[in-house]
Structure 1
Amino acid sequence: MLWKKNQHEAFESGKYSRVHTWYFDGGAEIRASSSPDIIPTPMSDASAVDPEEAFLASVSSCHMLFFLSIAAKKKYIVECYEDHPVGLLKEVKGKKAITVITLSPKVIFKGNYPSTKAIEQMHNLAHSNCFIANSIKANIQIKLI
């Protein structure tokens, strides 16, 4: 991760850019910023990923990857998996925290379509195996579409 102050910014008065870059193994680089809902533009950049969005995406991605591996082991063919995770930001003991994360996965299967019960079981197993879900305090809800 790298952040640098721009030359003419008034850092000490809080008037500085929150845009920075995340670097990942394999060479991926992602522009990141605080959310403009928290720090107004131009100090934030709405086109960049903010940490809260990345957090929700990480939870959703981890769940999806385990779900796909479980489905494959059970010989179900997943054609498409789509999710739009939502987090509830709430004040807890005087501090803001994401207390609830709702995943709403929409899964399209090809051929042998599993029962609703089998899909629920695969999601439950994916949730219990997800490293990120096992590492956080937020309550994760799975709303099947």
Structure 2
Amino acid sequence: MSDFNVEITWQHAPRAGHPDDYGRSHQWRLTGGQTLRASAAPDYAGDANHTNPEEGLIAAVSSCHMLTFLALAAKRGFKVSSYRDQATGTLGKNGQGRMAITGVVLHPVIAFDGAAPSGEELDKLHESAHRNCFIANSITAEVRVEPTE
């Protein structure tokens, strides 16, 4: 198995005129040294110019599906030349009445170099990618794949 490490750092920065008096901006430092500026979502007093945890989760689901799809397609002899996804996530109340990402919808657009899978083969590739995506298997939100032609 694998372990993954992320360092989160935050420093108090006053928010003049706000009763809660703390900023939401912070940094995510990933294992490879990459640092991302993060914040709460704008609806929760965050900085719209920074990544928020909700976007990070949706990106992780989309990225995991794509990487799993690419591996499965290669294994079956299909060469993907490009992959783009306009993923969306919904924040709402879960079954326990708590705020959560309750759904993620992936909208992959995929181009192939050479032979492309039939519609049925493409559906099976997406089903298998979803079933084997580590991140989708780790969350309770419903994840749907709606390929775009």
- TM-score, shorter chain, exceeding 0.5: yes
User: Aligned match of 1:142 in 133, 140, 145?
Assistant: 145
How far is 1:94 from its partner? 2.8
TM-score (norm 2): 0.88
- Runs of 4+ in structure 1 off by over 4 angstroms are none
Could you tell me how far apart the structure 2 residues matched to 1:142 and 1:91 are? 22
Could you tell me how far apart the structure 2 residues matched to 1:129 and 1:95 are? 27
Aligned length: 139
Alignment of structure 1 residues 18-29 onto 2, 5 Å: 18-29=24-35
Could you tell me how far apart the structure 2 residues matched to 1:134 and 1:108 are? 26
Residue of structure 1 equivalent to 2:11:
4
Percent of pairs identical after alignment?
42
Matching of residue 32 in structure 1 with residue 32 in structure 2:
no
Q: Any stretches of 5+ residues in structure 2 without a counterpart?
A: 1-7
Alignment of structure 1 residues 1-145 onto 2, 5 Å: 1-6=8-13, 8-9=14-15, 13-39=19-45, 44-92=46-94, 93-145=96-148
Q: Any stretches of 5+ residues in structure 1 without a counterpart?
A: none
How far is 1:22 from its partner? 0.2
How far is 1:95 from its partner? 1.5
TM-score (norm 1): 0.90
SS in 2 for 1:55: helix
Per-residue CA deviation, residues 77-99 of structure 1 (Å, 9 max, x unaligned), is 11111011111222233311111
